[in-house]
């Protein structure tokens, strides 16, 4: 009962927002976009793949014919390496799109791309997109994603490829949509400053999808907390920080060919789950597990509704989620098979 009360109170603090804003047009709808992205993309990729490199380009919305000037840049760490991805993730920077544009009020956006030209990599993109959708079911305090079919064209007008990808909502936009603000933090954050229910929700979700490539307390050297996550906070002082996770390509759910457990982990593959929650959040995790169980049907339905995800991949991903639900079937099994492996602060 104590855990459920903590969970409910923290949910109230996370959802009792002030000055919340409606979602921006790009993330207010779910139907996939049809786009053309034009620029010296291949030239940029054949170079040293420096994240500081950028080229001018255009994004054209096929349904309206609207063409927007943008700056295209490379991003990522592992996926930016030539030996990993033929086509690394992009950063697309807009300059004051018109208020009527689907890209209205967008600045710099992350675009998740297909990594390699083989058709299988389309399925990995769709499974990572599905992970964002699954987390959206748990809380509005999460990154929204918008799927798109994109024709990539070089600056001379020659087609490069046509592949699926998706844009990820900016953290500032996600915060404003929930009446929250981006947290100003250093590289490390004390665990006790993080909202218990929000922490429980995130770690249990990462456990569900089999992801080890994240950190709740710290960011990479020289960067703010947290690794593969961003922190937001309520406007009211004294309320806990809320983590919003992203980058799920190293998860067992996605099972990308290049994905391996991070350094320091003994798991043989990313399909092996490992619980990484903190013991101080155990009560909140028990309460969160009940919420996950209640959403089992919604999770599976959402996964199977992803446009373009083939039946074989959807079935494999559904079976992987079902393994998780077997582990959290009761509070007793959560205690015995999950949180007994919790980490001490």
d(CA 304, CA 340): 32
- Least confident range from 50-54, 145-149, 217-221, 300-304: namely 50-54
DSSP state of 25: G
Q: pLDDT for 282-339, tens place per residue?
A: 999 999 999 999 999 999 999 999 999 999 999 999 999 999 999 999 999 999 999 9
User: What average pLDDT does the segment 116-141 reach?
Assistant: 96
CB neighbour class for 258 (10 Å; exposed up to 12, middle 13-18, buried from 19) = middle
In order, the DSSP letters of 42-108 are: HHHHHTT--TT-EEEEEEEETTTTEEEEEEEEE--STTTSTTT-SB--EEEEES---TTSTTTT--E
User: How high is the mean pLDDT of the chain?
Assistant: 92
191 closest CA partner among 182, 201, 199, 183: 199
pTM: 0.93
| Tens digit of each residue's pLDDT (9 = 90 or more) over 87-106 | 999 999 999 999 999 999 99
Class of domain 2-17+180-341: mainly alpha
DSSP assignment, residue 343? B
Domain ranges of the chain: 2-17+180-341, 31-172
Query: What is the signed CA dihedral for 258, 244, 306, 31, rounded to 10 degrees?
Result: -120
Query: Which pLDDT does position 10 carry in this prediction?
Result: 43
How many Å apart are CA 323 and CA 345, to the nearest integer? 28
Cα angle vertex 223, ends 74, 82, to 5°?
30
Nearest alpha-carbon partner for 275 in 231, 317, 328, 314: 328
Burial of 46 (0-12, 13-18, 19+ CB in 10 A): exposed
Question: In terms of Cα–Cα distance, which of 247, 267, 246, 287 is closest to 12?
Answer: 287
H or E element at residue 311 = helix 311-327
Query: Which of 190, 150, 35, 180 lies closest to 101, judged by CA?
Result: 35
Let me know: does 164 contact 307? Beta carbons within 8 Å.
no
């Amino acid at each position: 009962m104590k855990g459920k009360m903590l969970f409910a109170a923290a949910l109230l603090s996370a959802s009792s927002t002030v000055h919340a804003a409606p979602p921006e047009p790009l993330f207010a709808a779910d139907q996939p976009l049809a786009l053309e992205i034009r620029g010296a993309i291949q030239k940029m990729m054949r170079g040293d793949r420096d994240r500081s490199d950028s080229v001018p380009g255009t994004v054209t919305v096929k349904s309206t014919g609207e063409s927007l000037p943008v700056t295209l840049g490379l991003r990522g760490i592992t996926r930016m390496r030539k030996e990993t991805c033929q086509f690394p993730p992009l950063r697309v920077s807009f300059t004051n799109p018109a208020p009527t544009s689907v890209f209205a009020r967008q600045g710099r956006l992350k675009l998740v791309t297909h990594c390699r030209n083989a058709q299988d990599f389309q399925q990995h993109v769709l499974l990572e997109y599905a992970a964002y959708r699954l987390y959206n079911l748990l809380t509005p305090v999460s990154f929204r994603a918008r799927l798109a079919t994109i024709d990539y064209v070089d600056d001379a007008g020659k087609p490069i490829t046509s592949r699926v990808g998706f844009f990820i909502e900016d953290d500032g936009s996600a915060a404003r949509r929930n009446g929250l603000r981006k947290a100003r933090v250093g590289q490390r954050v004390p665990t006790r400053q993080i909202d218990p229910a929000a922490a429980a929700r995130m770690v249990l979700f990462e456990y569900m999808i089999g992801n080890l490539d994240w950190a709740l307390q710290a960011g990479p050297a020289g960067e703010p907390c947290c690794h593969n996550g961003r922190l937001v906070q309520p406007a009211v002082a004294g309320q806990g920080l809320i983590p919003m996770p992203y980058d799920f390509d190293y998860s067992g759910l996605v099972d990308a060919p290049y994905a391996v457990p991070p350094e320091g982990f003994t798991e043989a593959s990313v399909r092996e789950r490992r619980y990484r929650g903190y013991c101080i959040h155990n009560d909140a995790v028990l309460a969160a597990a009940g919420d996950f169980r209640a959403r089992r049907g919604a999770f599976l339905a959402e996964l199977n509704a992803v446009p373009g995800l083939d039946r074989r991949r959807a079935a494999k991903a559904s079976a992987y989620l079902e393994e998780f639900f077997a582990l959290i079937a009761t509070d007793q099994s959560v205690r015995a098979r999950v949180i007994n492996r919790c980490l001490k602060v």
